[in-house]
Chains A and B, each alone.
Chain A
Amino acid sequence: MNFARPSVLLVALFSAARHGLLCADPVPNPSPLAPFLEAHCADCHDADSKKGGLDLGALTANLSKPDSLSDPETFALWVRLHDRIESGEMPPAKKPRPAPTDREKALQWIAQTLETQELQQSRDHVRTGVRRLTRAEYENTVRDLFSMPGILVQNLLPADGSALGFDKNTDALDLSHVNIAKYVEAAEKILDLAIATRPTPPPSSKIRLTLAGNYQTNLTLMGGDAMLLKDGKLHPDTPPAGAHAHIDQGAHERMGAFEGEDSSTAVFRHEDESFNPYYQRFASLYPGMYKVRASFWSLQWEKGSILPSRTTEAARLSIVHFNENGRGGGHPSTVLGYFDAPSLKPAEHAFETWLNPRETFGFNTASLAHVVLYRVGTWGQLNRTMGYTGPCIVNDWLEVEGPVHDIWPPRSHRLLFPDLPMEEFSPKRKDGPRMPARPVLKQDILGARNRPDPVQPAFTVKSDQPEADAERLLAAFLPRAFRRPVPDEIRAAYLEQFRQRLAAGDGFELAMRWVYRAALCSPDFLYHVEPATTLDPHALASRVSYLLWNSQPDDTLTKLAASGTLSQPNTLAREVQRLLEDRRSDRFIEDFLGQWLKLRSIAANDPDKKLYPEFSAYLQDSMVNETRAFFRELLTKNLGAAHLVKSDFAMLNERLAQLYNIPGVTGPAIRRVQLPPDCPRGPFLTQAALLKITANGTTTSPVPRGAFVMGRLLGRPPQPPPPNIPAVEPDVRGATTIRELLERHRSNASCSACHAYIDPPGLALEAFDVIGGMRTRYRSLDQGDPAPRGNIDSKISVQFLLGPSVDTTGEFADARRFSNIAELQNLLAADPHRLLSNLARQLTIYATGRDVAFRDRAALAQVVARTEAQGGGLRTLLHEVIRSPLFQTR
């Protein structure tokens, strides 16, 4: 209340204005900001009080310094100032409200200033800085360009960074010599797999495999964690372990107990550190597509009797990538999927997958709890399998057929050497042009029985007119690799290198290989090259396909770009729809959600085994699939943004339904389930994946969860905490609740300024534990009451206790109250505009690789308005983002 002090601000602003530093032209009128700040802000935000660390006097005085707004932190501060006033957050509710016109004028003045500054700064700059491909983009591009859908190159490359939450931004994508070296290495790997080394396709074989036969599985068959069945009954020759274990595994192997194509393997045990069953009799020798069929079923075993199982169990298949010669377990693997194993009646599953060389399939009884019937050293254990009661998953066989080539040479080879015959050569010859290395293919995975041809003559591509052929090949390859037409000079430069390699003694294949490798390491391939203003058709096609497929445009899109019709709204909309309906758009969902909702961090923490014994990898994978399937459903059915926080349906499988206590769902497949009216489940807000990601494996805290909701869903990310705040040491003994530990957030005024916004949603979400299950009491290990089992699998030992009650009441900073999660959902769902605007912003940042500048806000608001006018659906939003000038200009 200093009536004598107004001049400081006014003087500062006037002098700044006079220096013409606040506007493009010298200011004729005094700025409306000064009186506004004086009347409504200066009391708290002057040099003495400095509430929230903000000293408006200093800030506005600094405006008179040249280029003060070019400092990003100062600029961001002014943006925050603008937004706080605009949202009505400032002045705080208790203070008198400013007159609407004054407020408007002040806001307009700030907005104009900021926009002018931006325009000045952008004179020589483009908004989206040129950037290289991200790791995922690189891998997908290679996979699509070479038609090798399963080649693994992403892990060769160093990790990308993150800017504004996404890696599709030049600030996240730096380079060092290490990246270059890895690109060279990756290019070699790609060319090795892509180039055909024989004129006829490699022999395709069809092999029927059983789990029995692999050393680890045999061991479990001996001990009793698995057993053999024949025709759905106990195997007559080799019964399950009972009062005695089986004796002498070697004798059993020699007697062929584990051979026999008509015997099924029934497994009780879940994968663990000593048990990773692989179908090791097969290890791929050739890259290519393989057809796989597998037969699974399940049963309830009761001390020797086979009974119907409790439900359709889930069998997991994965691709195992052998390192070294296959010895031991724990080789890296990629999950292929979870398959129905119905009660007593086998289900046959069929699918196709790409295999690289040295790979096989792995199996797991995903939906079974961890049990071990037999432990080494407990030979005295009576009755083993015959004394056991519990569920069991049976695999009758797994059939692998391949490599399956519909054409030969394969597409990868035709990309590089179309229409050229092959001729045999002798690798031993030392004279003549240098020939490519052709290492003799051998099966070196232990236990694998499939073999390559014993005689392997060496072939290479033959060219009678090397230069003419090279020119033709480059003319076809370079535009496809570089994603746009390639001028003659560039092609000529590559051709010149080819000539030099020939002159240096390389044969045709090696010389072309040199040139192809160079192309794959050149900036034209590695970078998104876009013109400096409005995107030309090829750049537009690229932007659209890297958004929706995270990869290069396909032939259809490229042709439309070449014809010049792509930017026509109808054509573009049709293409967007086509790309969305193609399965490759799964990559968009995975990549975007992986970053926007942080799904990439799903495995950052393992839940404490004693507190959450029911957690499993199957549950974790199901959680991620739920979130992806939900987003897919929102896009397909074009549902609105309220679904981010509240939904009448959920995308579930049985395991998730079990976690969420929703009856009537069986099997591992994710499907849409209508929810009862008061069920909070369904939307992102209450999905297990997000609840897990915002916890740390042992405890939950309202702060990260609240910050997540604020930042990721509502578009109002909180400011970072002040330095030197000691971290909270969580107490899992059950003595104090997190709400009590965070008491200072409410009682301390400088804490509550921010935490009044952050904590409330987080406190409501305290209703959910570390793995996303609902709770009314905290789990603890020391103090508390015995916990009822609920629907936790009967084989899992429940050791945790129930501690203090969960209090989910809260109050938003604007005094809207809620007492439970349902009420919070209603409050948030009541403002779909805010949710939609934030999602629009996130999509735009992701799709354009840059932040939404201050002067872009109008265009973004237009995107939102147009979407809302058409019903507010998320698919519409995606279309509108792509139509917007934000997307179509640099």
Chain B
Amino acid sequence: MNHAPSPLRAAAAALLLPLLCAATARADKMDLRVIGFSAPEREKDFALTMEKMPDLRAIALDAEHARVTLEFNPADLFPKVKVPSDPAAILKRINDLTGAASLRTFQFATPSGLAEDTLAKVEIKVGLLDCKSCRYAFYSAVAGIDGVERATVHSTAGVLTAWIDPQKTSKDALFQALKKLKGVELPPQ
């Protein structure tokens, strides 16, 4: 993003050149987990959400593993205020913007750092409608649990598949979270 040069800016730039150069030229990157990929259909929704936020760019999206690299200029995310140094604050701001753009159906989180082969794959039989929002509802019930790296729901097969950190959570924890959803009857597993 280029700012149109003006005499005032030039004068200010002369005084604050080092900082300013760094700010206008910065293109930070963050590797993040995406929360909200309940099923492959959500890839299109993700693209639409990102389109609403020109200050955030998704480069290198791996939908299957729910990973993305975001590129942005922090100054764009914090207009008129000082950019915080804490990455967590920047992540919060990213999530505020993304939540507003997606009605809170997409959020980002720091990756666990776990290797793929340390994750345990869990499959839970769920009975549900072939309904996009219902898939999302099931997904959301487990996606927020600490230790769930990612999950996906397949209505016609009637299965929720999740990849978890076995140190932090378990199939039973997910099972209980799903049971709590009002009106859900889980079939025999």
In contact, A243 and B185 (Cβ under 8 angstroms): no
| Measured CA separation A298–B95 after assembly (Å) | 44
Interface string of A451-480 (1 = CB under 8 A from B): 000000000000000000000000000000
In contact, B183 and A237 (Cβ under 8 angstroms): no
In contact, B104 and A245 (Cβ under 8 angstroms): no
In contact, A252 and B133 (Cβ under 8 angstroms): yes
In contact, B103 and A254 (Cβ under 8 angstroms): yes
B179, chain A: closest CB distance, angstroms? 12
Classify the secondary structure of B's interface with A: loop
B27 within 8 A of A: no
Residues from chain B with Cβ under 8 Å of A248 in the complex = 133-134, 137, 140, 181-182
B121 within 8 A of A: no
Chain B stretch 11-55: residues in CB contact (< 8 A) with chain A: none
In contact, A246 and B133 (Cβ under 8 angstroms): yes
In contact, A247 and B137 (Cβ under 8 angstroms): yes
| Measured CA separation A248–B138 after assembly (Å) | 9
In contact, A241 and B133 (Cβ under 8 angstroms): no
B128, chain A: closest CB distance, angstroms? 5
B9 within 8 A of A: no
Chain B stretch 99-137: residues in CB contact (< 8 A) with chain A: 103-105, 127-134, 136-137
B159, chain A: closest CB distance, angstroms? 14
Chain A stretch 710-730: residues in CB contact (< 8 A) with chain B: none
> Provided the pairs A248-B181, A254-B105, A379-B183 are in contact, do residues A243 and B127 lie with their beta carbons within 8 angstroms?
yes
A378, chain B: closest CB distance, angstroms? 10
> Provided the pairs A246-B133, A247-B181 are in contact, do residues A255 and B127 lie with their beta carbons within 8 angstroms?
no
Residues from chain B with Cβ under 8 Å of A247 in the complex = 128, 134, 137-138, 181-184
Chain A residue at minimum C-beta to C-beta distance from B105: A254
In contact, B133 and A244 (Cβ under 8 angstroms): no
Chain A residue at minimum C-beta to C-beta distance from B184: A247
In contact, B128 and A251 (Cβ under 8 angstroms): no
Query: Which among A251, A379, A380 is the interface contact of B136 at CB below 8 angstroms?
Result: A251
In contact, A255 and B105 (Cβ under 8 angstroms): yes
> Provided the pairs A254-B103, A256-B103, A379-B183 are in contact, do residues A244 and B128 lie with their beta carbons within 8 angstroms?
yes
Interface string of A12-52 (1 = CB under 8 A from B): 00000000000000000000000000000000000000000
In contact, A239 and B131 (Cβ under 8 angstroms): yes
Residues from chain B with Cβ under 8 Å of A251 in the complex = 133-134, 136-137, 140
In contact, B132 and A254 (Cβ under 8 angstroms): no
Query: Which among A241, A244, A257, A379 is the interface contact of B132 at CB below 8 angstroms?
Result: A257
Interface string of A291-327 (1 = CB under 8 A from B): 0000000000000000000000000000000000000
B185, chain A: closest CB distance, angstroms? 7
Interface string of A203-246 (1 = CB under 8 A from B): 00000000000000000000000000000000001110111111
Chain A stretch 244-268: residues in CB contact (< 8 A) with chain B: 244-248, 251-257
> Provided the pairs A247-B184, A379-B183 are in contact, do residues A237 and B128 lie with their beta carbons within 8 angstroms?
no
In contact, B103 and A245 (Cβ under 8 angstroms): no
B91, chain A: closest CB distance, angstroms? 21
A830, chain B: closest CB distance, angstroms? 68
Query: Which among B104, B138, B183 is the interface contact of A254 at CB below 8 angstroms?
Result: B104
Classify the secondary structure of A's interface with B: loop
Interface core residue of A241, A247, A254 (most chain B CB under 10 Å): A247
Chain B residue at minimum C-beta to C-beta distance from A250: B137
In contact, A238 and B132 (Cβ under 8 angstroms): yes
Interface string of B177-189 (1 = CB under 8 A from A): 0000111110000
In contact, A257 and B133 (Cβ under 8 angstroms): yes
Residues from chain A with Cβ under 8 Å of B104 in the complex = 254
In contact, B129 and A246 (Cβ under 8 angstroms): yes
B134, chain A: closest CB distance, angstroms? 5
| Measured CA separation A238–B101 after assembly (Å) | 22
> Provided the pairs A247-B182, A256-B103 are in contact, do residues A237 and B131 lie with their beta carbons within 8 angstroms?
yes
Interface core residue of A242, A245, A248, A256 (most chain B CB under 10 Å): A248
| Measured CA separation A257–B132 after assembly (Å) | 8
In contact, A252 and B130 (Cβ under 8 angstroms): no
> Provided the pairs A247-B184, A248-B181 are in contact, do residues A239 and B105 lie with their beta carbons within 8 angstroms?
no
| Measured CA separation A788–B111 after assembly (Å) | 70
Interface string of A368-408 (1 = CB under 8 A from B): 00000000000110000000000000000000000000000
Chain A stretch 339-376: residues in CB contact (< 8 A) with chain B: none
Chain B stretch 143-184: residues in CB contact (< 8 A) with chain A: 181-184
Residues from chain B with Cβ under 8 Å of A244 in the complex = 127-129, 134, 185
| Measured CA separation A243–B126 after assembly (Å) | 12
13 A-B contact pairs sorted by A residue (CB < 8 Å): A238-B131, A243-B127, A244-B127, A244-B129, A245-B129, A247-B134, A247-B138, A251-B140, A252-B134, A254-B103, A254-B104, A257-B132, A380-B185
Which B residues are closer than 8 A to A by beta carbons?
A: 103-105, 127-134, 136-138, 140, 181-185
Task: Give 5 new A-B contacts, CB below 8 A, not counting A237-B131, A243-B127.
Answer: A244-B134, A246-B129, A247-B134, A247-B183, A252-B137
